[in-house]
Each structure stands twice: as structure tokens, then as C-alpha cells.
A and B are shown apart, each in its own frame.
Chain A
Amino acid sequence: MKKRNSASKWIVSFFALVLVLCVLLSLAAYAVDPFFQFRFNRAYLMNSDIASGLVKHYDYDTLIVGSSITQNFRMNTFRDELNVEPLHIGLGGISLRIIEDCMKIAYRAGHAETYYIAVDPYLFYDVKNHHPLEFYFQDGLLPKLRYLLSNKVWFHYLPLDLGLGILDRLGKESPLAGDICTPENIDHFGDWSDKFEFGEDVVLDNYRSSRYSIKEIETDDLYNTMVSRIDHLMERLDFGKGKHVFFFPPYSSLYWSDMQLDGYYEDLIQAKRYFIEKAFEHGAVVFDFQPAELTGNLNNYKDTTHYTPEINDWMVRCFASGEHLVTSENMEAGLEQLKENTDRFREAHIDLLMESRMTEE
């Protein structure tokens, strides 16, 4: 009987200890808060995990959300051209779920008056895409606890951030000063423009080694898959919370030629048309950069979809001037222009396109 009592006590002690440890660890992580889930701290390290924290606690009036094609936007161009205080959350391979959850927390935070959302086609057909940062954007007690008791917090950033925080309090310069969250660094959140080369040769090399630079299309029913996910997004956006600006990024004509030859083009265009109509129904603004002439010049790119920061600047200027703004009247003309550009490019580069297909086979 005595042994049984001691075993029962042991079980109670174990759970009590685990509970105490959970509480203590959670409190410590809450106090340091490396990814700004509860407050902003300028002395901490820059890393992609702080994205949702910035949306919640950073000071901004314009939010730009999207995949890697938004990461090279220069915030000063937004300030100069549009006279706004921007924050851009560009995450490579961002998932539709993150965009939806990000908008939800942005609405709740109430900082932004305008939202710029990049519309990459893959968001609507790549149903398997689960981004590793998704849980930071989710609401509820469990995601919070998961954050406070996560490996990245405890074994990576908390010790470093704690050290940096102490140095900052002591007024001493950190050895990692260049990597911490200054407003200048936050402006460059996710910027990859200095890590890659651009130009036609680079694009062709990348293309020959791997045709697709974004997720391959795996669905059998492309159009309906995309429509259902477009509806999903539209249902989750609160268009009464501010001005919503959707923009179709200027992928290269090489990308569209590939889509044509692979038989996806028509479905993608139909889905794009559907998206624009839905956006108009909700009173949103749409910019379409895809029919632009510059998409035929591969010197503007690093691969089939990713362009130079100068193109990002040009897009911001278009936001200000209204160039490439889509209206009910010019929508079809824009889609027709894209087709003309693509047909012309495909005919001029048919050898390249066929060569890559032969290699794959």
C-alpha cells in the first residue's frame, strides 16, 4: 500500500513539476518575447519569425503582403511616391493561409488604412503549401503556448535576444548591431536583391536547370481549385477595414509561354478574370502588371518570375500614378495584351522552350 501511495505521489509530483516548468518557461518567454507576439522591441534580432509580431505591434499605416516577389520593395519609394508609412511582410513561398491570417491580425491591430496584396497564381492551386511560420499568424491559446514553448524561442533567439537586450539597456553596442531590428532593417525585411544576380543569362541558366521557379501545378482541376480558393480568400477579407489593393506581379513572358505550352494558360487567365470580378464586387482596387512590355525583357529578371528591385520601384510609381490600374472597361484589353505578348515571346523563343522540354523527357 505504501509503495502504491508513493507511485501516486510520484505521478502527482511529475504533473505538478511539468505544470510549474511550463508556467515558468512561458513567463520567461513572454517577458523576452523574441518574435514580438506581445510587444515590439527594437533591440532584437531580425529574422523571418518576427513577421506576424511586426503586423501586430509595429507602427505603420500601409501593409504590403506577399511572396518573394514583394520582398524587394523599397519602403522609401512608398514613402516618397505615396506619402505613407509602410510595413511589408514578404515571405518566400507564403501560403494563402498566412495571407488570410495575416490580414486578420492586421485588421485587429488596426494600424493600416491601405493593404497591398500580391496575387501569385500558385497561392490558389498549391493546396499542399504549408509555410513553417503559419502558426505565428494563428489566433488562440494553443498557438500562443506553442510559441512560448517552442524550440526556436528557447534554443535560438531567446538567449541571443536576452543578451542583446541587456547590452542595449547597458547602453553598449551589440556585436550583432547590423542584424537587429532597427527601422532601417525592418524596411529591408526579407530583401534578397543583393544575394542574387539578374540578367538574361542568369534567367536562361536557371531555366535550363529547372524550368519552374515557383511551385509546380499538381491539381487535375486547375480552374475550379483556384476558384474555390479565391472565394475562400474573399470571404475572409474584411473590405470595410480599409482600402484593399490587389496586384498581379509582372512575371516574365517566359513564365506565361511555359504555361501556354503546358496547357495551363487558359485556366490561369480564367481564374484571373474571376479574381478581378470578385475584387470589384467588394470594391477593391486591382493593378495588373502582367501585360507590361517589360515582361518580355529577361534582363529584368533572375528567373521566370522574380524581377529586379527597379521593377518593384516602377510598380510603386504605378500605384501612385494609376498606370496599369484595372477597370471593368480595360480588363479584357489587359488580358488580350498579355496573350499577345506571350504569343510573340513564345514564337521568338520556341527553340529554348522546346529544348527544355526535350531535356526533361
Chain B
Amino acid sequence: MVFSSYVFILAFLPIVVIVYYLLSHIQNSLFQRLFLIAASLFFYGYYNVRYLVLILASIAVNYVLAVGIQRSEGRKAKLFFLLGILFNVGLIGYYKYYDFFVGNINAVFGTGFTLKHILLPLGISFFTFQQLSFLVSVYRGEERVGQLRDYCLFVSFFPQLVAGPIVLYSEMMPQFKDEKRRYFDADNFGAGIYLFSIGLFKKAAVADTLAFFADAGFGMTDLGLAAAWLTSISYTLQIFFDFSGYSDMAIGLGKMFNIDIPINFRKPYESESITEFWRRWHITLGRALSTYVYRPLGGNRKGLPRTCFNLFITFLVSGLWHGAAWTFVLWGSLHGAFVVVERVFKEKFERIPHRVRVAATFLIVNVLWVLFRAENFGQAAEVYKGMFHFGNLSGLHELVLATNSMMDSLINLVLVAVFIPVLMKLNCISPEASDFRPCRRSAVQAAVFFMLAFLCLSRETVFIYFNF
């Protein structure tokens, strides 16, 4: 199910909230938790029941292995841990990387192995990563394995199930078990509605409109200078509003159930370096990669050259995690390369004026998003050719025609035009929950955002990060 859909907003969410708080009248909290698990699994299996088998199998195997790790010592614990890594990497490897791997073997060795064209199960990267991180924590003795139902709720809790934020067992379970959080809390519920409304607006009204230029431009050849830049900037803004909108909704939904989900975006396009960008963009992924890749490699403890190497590898993994294609590998590698350069020349960069650094960072991120969005290097090359071929000023008219909608093109143009001077400051409208003030102004703001977004729901789309 998708947050920005009629069925979620008009049926699923109201029913789940009402039943959940009705169940709070029963003294034993078990029923509430079981209901939340059932609702989350229904949410996950809504479009394809077969996915339910996959996630349930993944949860069951990981739980058994986690218990095995906890109850064993020495080599036996290590064996369970390695089995866990093998299982999760194998699962994601099969569903996400099989065709990429086989396709490359075919290309290099001239073999003819058949590609399976496997449909990527919803959110598999997220729930696999989350469970893998849990196994690591149990192996290190940082976490204790609770009951199966608690673990199941930790993995399947619907607000963060399919596209994060990536949460830790230690930050979720104490909240689920906190008796005070079982009952309806108007402050949290209001904050939840506020965040959800803003997120919905960002996704349905802004991101999906920006998609008109991005989708049209990436499907065209011979893009002129203006058309190519409009295409890339539209996508740069689209992916931000899409993913941060999703995260705002997830955090808002968590709030409605008195659960604090960590913030995932903090005005990333105001960053003055690529390093800072990754501290502000998809924060929970950065945290997970830092904990489970960068630091185990040695982090910054083994001198500058090794630090640079570790940073580069971490970003390479990040690229591969985002998608099974060489475009993602290059995208991750280039981000890694910029971070390394920034680390080496840190002091020199700090002398550059703040605004110049922010603009340069935005430009670099924008140029690299082209690789991220393109289906292949050829498509990326078409957009780059337009962006840096200063002699060709044509193509804008064709781009507008390709969107099939003059009205959407117009709104799109306005969005892009006003972003830099106006929306840049507001590009992370979602405040921390503590910033929420239940006043008349915020009620009007939330209601207007919600209604504008609701009007856009008839053009149903999916979230970009559902593909990862």
C-alpha cells in the first residue's frame, strides 16, 4: 500500500488508528501489538500477497539466527552470525542483484545465461538491512533478542517498513513496550497529523508535478541546454520532495502511535560540501553505513590514506545498495571521490565563501543525480550532452510538449523557478516534533497542505525509494 493513496488515507489509516486505541482499553498490551503486526502485514501484502511469504520467511529465519547467536558462544555464535549474513546477502542478492551479476558475466565472458527479470519485492533493501544490522548488534552483544512478536513488530511496523527511515531495535522496542505510549496522546497525534500533511503535500503536490519534466526529459534525445538543466533540476527537486515527503509521513504516522521515528532529512540542499550533504540526506542510511561499513573498515583511526579508502568503499557500497546497475556504482563512487577530496583539502575548502560552497555542492549533487535517475549510461550521456553543450539552446518547447500537459508544465516551471530563492529555505519543512505548536496557524497550514495534496491523489504514483 502507498501512503499517498485513497485507500490508505480514507480506509486503512483511520481503521487502524481507531482499533489500535480501542484496544488500549484492554489491560494487556499484547492485543495492541498483535493488531499492529497484523495491520502492518496487511499493508505490506496489499498489492501482492506473495511478498508476505517472503517477509515472514525473512523475519522467521533472522529471528531464529539471532536467538542462536545469543544462546551460543565463540565459534558457534560466529557460525550463526555468518549464516545470518549469508542468508540476508543471498536474499537481497537474488532479488536485487541476480540479473546485474548474470548480465555482467554474459557481457564479459560472452555466455548466454538467462536473465530472470525478477520483480524487486517492496522494501526488501530496507527490511533486509534493518535485520542485518540487528544481527550485528546481537553478535556484538549490544542488543538482547526479545520475543518473536516484538521482533516482528520491529521489522514490520508499517510507517517505516518499505522505505525507512532505517531504525534500530534499541530505539524502537523500548517505545513499543512503554506502557505510557499505549494510550491516545493528543499532542503526539496532532504532531503526527501535521507532519503527515506536510509530507503528503511534498510528495503528491510537489514531487509528482516535478516528475513531469524529469520523466519527459529523461525519455528524450537531443535535449537543448535549458531543457537539459530543467530536466536535471526537476529531478533533483523531485527526489528530495518525494523521499523527504515519504519520511515526513513515516515520522508523522509513527507519532500518531506515540512512536518516535528518527528524522531522515535536514535541509540537505543547504549543505556546503558533499560530506555535509550526506549528514543531512537520508540520515538513517548514513548512520547505518557508518556503523556497519565505515567503522568496521577502520573508520578514521588508521591515518588519512586509509580513512580516504574507507570513505570511498562506504560510498561505493551506498551506490550498490541503491541499485543494481553500473550507473549507481559510478554515482556512489563519484560521491565517494568528492568526499575524499574534501577530506584531503579540508582547510582549503573552508576558505571559500559559504554561499559559493552551497551553490557548488548543489550543482555537483544535481549533476550526479542524472546518473542516479538514468536507466543506463546512454540516457545519462544524452542529458549531460544537453547540459554542457552551450551552443544548443533549443528543446524547451519539445520538453513541454513531451509532458503532455501544458498546465503541469507551467506549474513545474514555477516550482523550479521559485525553488532557489524561496523554497530553498523551506526545503525541510518538517520540523522536529518538539517544534510543533498546536495553534490556529499550524492547523490552517496543515489543512491547506492536506487538501492540496488530496486533490493530487487522483494521479496515483509510487515513491522513488520504493525501487531500492
Residues of chain A at the chain B interface (Cβ within 8 Å) = 3-4, 6-11, 13-14, 17-18, 21-22, 25, 142, 146, 149-152, 154-156
With A9-B438, A155-B411: A14-B190 Cβ-Cβ less than 8 Å: yes
- Nearest B-chain residue to A8, judged by Cβ: B186
Q: Assess the A151–B190 pair: CB atoms within 8 A.
A: no
Cβ 8 A contact of B440, one of A7, A13, A152, A154: A13
Q: How large is the interface on B (under 10, 10 to 19, 20 to 34, 35 or more residues)?
A: 20 to 34
CB distance from A271 to the nearest CB of B (A): 29
Residues in A whose Cβ lies below 8 Å from that of B190: 7, 10-11, 14
Selected contact of A14 from candidates B6, B187, B447, B458, CB within 8 Å:
B447
Residues of B within 8 A of A18 (CB): 447, 450-451
Q: Is B193 an interface residue (CB 8 A)?
A: yes
Whole-angstrom CA separation of A191 from B443 in the bound complex: 48
In the bound complex, CA of A155 to CA of B205 (Å): 11
Query: Do most interface residues of chain B lie in helix, strand or loop, or is the interface mixed?
Result: helix
- B301 contact set on A, CB distance < 8 A: none
Which residue in chain B gives the minimum CB-CB distance to A5? B186
B405 touches A156 (CB 8 A): yes
B407: nearest chain-A partner, CB-CB: A156
CA distance A21 to B189 in the complex (A): 21
Cα A4 to Cα B444 with chains together (Å):
19
In the bound complex, how far is the Cα of B193 from the Cα of A280, in angstroms? 58
A7 contacts B189, C-beta separation under 8 Å: yes
Q: Which residue of B lies closest to A22 (CB)?
A: B451
Residue from B407, B438, B450, B457 in contact with A7 in the complex, judged by beta carbons closer than 8 Å: B438
Q: Which residue of B lies closest to A148 (CB)?
A: B455
Query: Could you show 30 A-B contacts with beta carbons less than 8 Å apart?
Result: A3-B438, A6-B438, A7-B189, A7-B190, A7-B438, A8-B186, A9-B438, A10-B438, A10-B442, A10-B443, A11-B186, A13-B447, A14-B190, A14-B443, A14-B447, A17-B444, A18-B450, A18-B451, A21-B448, A21-B451, A22-B451, A25-B455, A149-B454, A149-B458, A150-B455, A150-B458, A151-B455, A152-B459, A155-B455, A156-B405
- A25 CB contacts on chain B under 8 angstroms: 451, 455
Set of chain B residues within 8 Å of A10, measured between Cβ atoms: 186, 190, 438-439, 442-443
Contacts of A22 in B (CB 8 A): 451
CA distance A8 to B193 in the complex (A): 12
* CB–CB A151/B456 < 8 A: yes
Q: Using A4-B186, A6-B438 as known contacts, say yes or no to A14 and B446 having CB atoms under 8 A apart.
A: yes
Residues of chain A contacted by B457 (CB below 8 angstroms)? 151
Assembly CA distance A154 to B454 (angstroms): 11
Q: Report the Cα distance A4→B447, complex, angstroms.
A: 20
- Determine the chain A residues whose CB is within 8 A of the CB of B193 once the complex forms: 11, 14
The docked-state distance in angstroms from the alpha carbon of A10 to that of B190 is: 7
Residue of A nearest to B456 (CB): A151
B278 to chain A, nearest CB (A): 34
Residue of A nearest to B446 (CB): A14
A21 contacts B447, C-beta separation under 8 Å: yes
Question: Measured between C-beta atoms, what is the minimum distance from A289 to chain B in Å?
Answer: 33
A151 touching B451, Cβ below 8 Å: no
- The 8 Å CB contact of A155, one of B187, B407, B450, B451, is B407
CA distance A4 to B189 in the complex (A): 11
The 3 closest A-B pairs by CB, nearest first: A10-B438, A17-B447, A7-B186
CA distance A9 to B438 in the complex (A): 8
A127 to B: closest C-beta gap in Å: 16
* Contact indicator A4/B407 (Cβ below 8 Å): no
Given the complex, which residues of A lie within 8 Å of B450, measured CB to CB?
A: 14, 18
Alpha-carbon separation in the docked complex, A4 to B443 (Å)? 15
Bound form: Cα–Cα A3–B440 in Å: 14
Give B455's nearest chain A residue, CB to CB. Answer: A154
Cα distance A14–B196 when bound, in Å? 12
Chain A residue numbers with a CB within 8 Å of B438 are 3, 6-7, 9-10
Q: Which residues on B sit within 8 Å (CB–CB) of A156?
A: 405, 407
Chain A residues in 8 Å Cβ range of B405: 156
* Residues in A neighbouring B455, C-beta threshold 8 A: 25, 149-151, 154-155
Which residue from chain B places its CB closest to the CB of A12 in the assembled complex? B443
Q: How far is the CB of A87 from chain B (nearest CB, A)?
A: 25
With a CB–CB cut-off of 8 A, which chain B residues contact A150? Answer: 455, 458
Best-surrounded residue of B407, B442, B455, B456 (most CB of chain A within 10 A) = B455
What's the nearest-Cβ distance from chain A to residue B6, in Å? 7
> A155 to chain B: which residues have CB within 8 Å?
407-408, 411, 455-456
Query: For residue B186, which residues in chain A have a CB less than 8 angstroms away from its CB?
Result: 4, 7-8, 10-11
User: What separation, in Å, do the CA atoms of A150 and B6 have in the docked complex?
Assistant: 11
Complex CA–CA separation, A151 to B451 (angstroms)? 11
A146–B6 Cα distance when bound, in Å, is: 9
A17 vs B449: C-alpha distance in the bound complex, in angstroms?
11
Contact A11 B458 (CB under 8 A): no
* Residue ID in chain B nearest A159 by CB atoms: B407
Q: Which residues of chain A have C-beta atoms less than 8 A from B411's C-beta?
A: 155
B173 nearest CB across to chain A (Å): 26
Chain B 252-291 interface residues, beta-carbon cutoff 8 Å to A: none
- In addition to A14-B190, A14-B193, 12 A-B residue pairs with Cβ atoms within 8 Å of each other are A4-B186, A4-B187, A7-B187, A7-B189, A10-B190, A10-B438, A11-B186, A17-B447, A18-B447, A142-B6, A146-B6, A149-B454
Q: When chains A and B are docked, how far (Å) is the Cα of A14 from the Cα of B443?
A: 5
A92 CB → nearest B CB, Å: 14
What is the CB-to-nearest-CB distance from A114 to chain B, in angstroms, rounded to a whole number? 34
Q: Which residues of chain A are within 8 angstroms of B456 by Cβ–Cβ distance?
A: 151, 155
Q: Chain A: which residue is nearest B410 at the CB level?
A: A155
> How far apart sit A21 and B197, CA to CA, in the bound complex (Å)?
14
Q: A146 and B458: CB pair below 8 A?
A: yes
Residues on A with C-beta less than 8 A from B407 are 155-156
